[in-house]
Structure 1
């Protein structure tokens, strides 16, 4: 899934750089942090860094860093045939430990980030896309990891990232305890995309989960103003109108749902 060869993965596991647990049928199960580190290995391999040099560099990196990654974050990138590591204000060669001359690197928070040698909006968009794809891959097996990946995509994207907003909000709303967090995501998304029917629909679902039925009904109405053929909005709004004692509204939207569903 990550595009990392079995040889590199096995070497990193054997060296203790990543420490997966064992799941059903003795299969290896990796944490979100493991996945990020393995993706770093892939990026270095794509830059034509030899596997042995990748493993040696990552082992030295692990030895040099504390148990927890620094809050200022680290960046790993290939500069020619050198693996450069940035931790806070320092930049050094991951294989030799020698400090390198400073290059322009934007400050970040947490995680390992794949740094292109030509920063800019195009590269930021590519990085955001990688994090979004990772979120999609993790959402069934690691909800926390998927959330973090979607948020990283939103943070890195040079422009509002519509799909990341939709998928992050929907992911959070699957947990009834996170509907408030989901609502904040959709409210932020609507500040960028105010005329999007899907966002109004999802916002209504989050409000319904919070028990704010009148507000949810209003959001469904806004959704239908933008897209009168949105069958699911008619269905959900019919149920809400029934709960609110609005029998006429219940019949009207139920009829619309049946008509659109046939």
Structure 2
């Protein structure tokens, strides 16, 4: 049987769930002109968003990102979209750009020699925190892992057969077992194929590789929710929220689980936080309806009529 082509377009709400980006942050990036406002995203768009998310997670300030993008457009006038056309990574809290085999500081234009291939890995799969006692992966293996990850992304962009994409991500994870990004993407492919056990295996490996990666916990929670294990789903949604309190979609899903379990006050708390984080997103209207229904359900009949009259 022929392999099913990989999906090439993702809805806005799905992209936010996949990358753990709050709607208000996405809108902020759009207002600043870093990305265009879109309702549908390609794999190439996801790579751009992951670049921005990685820079912010690495401690790079919004003002520094804006300065770097402006400087790159001025220095390299033929580039209209540096985030898409260049390899941009962080070095501490600074931004550097890959130029051949070297690095460039975008504002000053200074070249920084000896580009470290591990920076590529940090871009494509988010920073990985190794567990104590784990064996470090040699630089060459990590570079190989990053190369296979990029190949997998290119295959998805080209709509290649799923089997080819899976093998590329597997090669990335084989070269560096700590490549949480490759493991999460493998889990997501199998999730969409409804191969629950295999998806769970990869999501758990991602959590083990980087316990501080909120998206790994969130995706594992989605899997448990799909399988009907609400208890384990809630555990991992809450874990994702401990790691990233502004993970709006984790608040949304936790609110639903608490509501279905009859824990009204906890559900209301998460609905309120979700609406504060994402007041105008595609799921905001649904969240408001659920919150209002819970408020009406918790009103004590006759409470208003028993209030003393006012003058």
Q: So what's the TM-score if we normalise by structure 2?
A: 0.42
Larger RCO of the pair (alpha carbons < 8 Å, separation 6+): 2
The higher radius of gyration belongs to 1
Q: So what's the TM-score if we normalise by structure 1?
A: 0.50
